[in-house]
């Protein structure tokens, strides 16, 4: 088995991707909105509440910027692929329903020894005006595909502030959270099929990394941006450990003006999203 390095630097053909009000509502539920208090996040979970207009969680931007088709990365065991990193820049709030024209480029395939890190960048634009809606960068780690002698890739500069977090926010997840989140488009059986999860070395299906990412984004939105998606400019983080559906997640946040750093942990203290950063626009 080997990866196809010829895809590096080749931009995909633009593809129009549409979403509906139902899609954005389902996404919000999939990342836990309204779980403990069904009335607390009605702007993101309903479209017909009195005096409340529907809004879209900022982390939905990652889904809006995902092209329906993926480049052929070669022949490898899909059970060995995990989401490693995710960042996005949201240029303006997304509407509850809409269409974006999406193109993507594999920007690098890096040799990490035990596996390969495949990094991609996507851009979603408004089809009529060409204005950029979302710029997204993601990386996947494919175990067993390293050792090909390539570069190890750049190292991002990040350090934990030398003080206690300014905020700690804990959200629980449902035992069936992955079954709900997968309805937003990621049907990878790693998150639903015990047999497939066992092939990947897990005792049971794990939660989608982007679901953990969305739960974390809710904590950042409500804590730092006053629940206003227009103030949420971007977010990045590295997935460092799996989460099992039903586990609670704690987001530790260090606020620094318009920027913030964060880290997300499981109940036992295991870090599941590391090297987190967020950019919040002024009120």
| pTM for this prediction | 0.93
Q: Write the DSSP assignment of the chain as a string of letters.
A: -EE-GGGBTPBPPPEEEEE-HHHHHHHHHHTTTTSS-TTTTHHHH-S--TT------TTHHHHHT--SS----EE--GGGEEEEEEEEEESSPPPSSEEEEEEEEEEEEEE-SSEEEEEEEEEEE-TTT--EEEEEEEEEEEET---SS------------SS--SEEEEEE--TTHHHHHGGGS---GGGT-HHHHHHTT-SSPPPPHHHHHHHHHHHHHHHHSTT-GGGEEEEEEEE-S---TT-EEEEEEEEETTEEEEEEE-TTS-EEEEEEEEEE---
Q: What is the dihedral of CA 43, 44, 47, 48, to 10 degrees?
A: -40
* Alpha carbons 113 and 116: distance in angstroms, whole number: 7
Task: Decide: 214 and 86 in contact? Cβ < 8 Å.
Answer: no
Domain 2-280: give its CATH code: 3.10.129.10
pLDDT value of position 213: 98
Q: Is 5 a catalytic residue?
A: no
Q: Which of 23, 83, 191, 208 is catalytic?
A: 191
Burial 145-172 (b: 16+ CB within 10 A, else e): bbeeebeeeeeeeeeeeeeebeeebebe
Task: Decide: 167 and 255 in contact? Cβ < 8 Å.
Answer: yes
| Each residue's pLDDT expressed in tens, for the chain with a length of 283 residues | 578 888 888 888 999 999 999 999 999 999 999 999 999 999 999 999 999 999 999 999 999 999 765 567 877 887 788 889 999 999 999 999 999 999 999 999 999 988 899 999 999 999 999 999 999 999 989 888 888 888 888 877 888 899 999 999 999 999 999 999 999 999 999 999 999 999 989 999 999 999 999 999 999 999 999 999 999 999 999 999 999 999 999 999 999 988 999 999 999 999 999 999 999 999 8
pLDDT value of position 27: 98
pLDDT value of position 1: 52
* Alpha carbons 276 and 219: distance in angstroms, whole number: 13
pLDDT value of position 207: 97
Measure CA of the first residue to CA of the last residue in the chain; give whole Å. Answer: 51
pLDDT value of position 154: 81
Q: Which of 23, 83, 186, 208 is catalytic?
A: 186
pLDDT value of position 69: 55
* Alpha carbons 11 and 240: distance in angstroms, whole number: 28
pLDDT value of position 200: 87
Q: Is 186 a catalytic residue?
A: yes
* Alpha carbons 252 and 166: distance in angstroms, whole number: 8
């Amino acid at each position: 088995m080997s990866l196809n390095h010829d895809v590096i630097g080749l931009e995909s053909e633009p593809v129009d991707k549409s979403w509906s009000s139902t899609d954005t509502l389902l996404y919000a539920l999939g990342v836990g909105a309204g779980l403990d208090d069904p009335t607390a996040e009605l702007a993101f979970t309903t479209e017909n509440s009195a005096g409340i207009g529907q809004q879209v969680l900022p982390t939905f931007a990652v889904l809006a910027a995902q092209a329906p088709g993926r480049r052929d990365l070669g022949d490898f065991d899909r059970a060995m692929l995990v989401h490693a990193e995710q960042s996005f820049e949201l240029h303006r709030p997304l509407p509850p329903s809409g269409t974006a024209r999406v193109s993507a480029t594999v920007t690098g395939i890096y040799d990490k020894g035990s596996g390969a890190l495949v990094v991609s960048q996507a851009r979603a634009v408004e089809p009529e005006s060409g204005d950029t809606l979302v710029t997204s960068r993601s990386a996947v780690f494919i175990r067993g595909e390293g050792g090909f002698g390539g570069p190890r890739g750049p190292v991002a500069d990040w350090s934990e502030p030398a003080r206690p977090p300014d905020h700690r926010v804990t959200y629980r997840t449902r035992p069936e959270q992955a079954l709900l989140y997968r309805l937003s488009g990621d049907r990878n059986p790693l998150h639903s099929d015990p047999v497939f999860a066992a092939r990947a070395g897990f005792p049971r299906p794990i939660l989608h990394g982007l679901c953990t990412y969305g739960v974390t984004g809710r904590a950042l939105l409500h804590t730092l941006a006053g629940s206003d998606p227009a103030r949420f400019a971007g977010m990045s983080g590295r997935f460092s450990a799996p989460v099992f559906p039903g586990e609670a997640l704690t987001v530790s946040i260090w606020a620094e003006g318009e920027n913030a750093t964060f880290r997300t942990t499981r109940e036992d203290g295991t870090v599941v999203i590391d090297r987190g950063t967020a950019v919040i626009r002024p009120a």
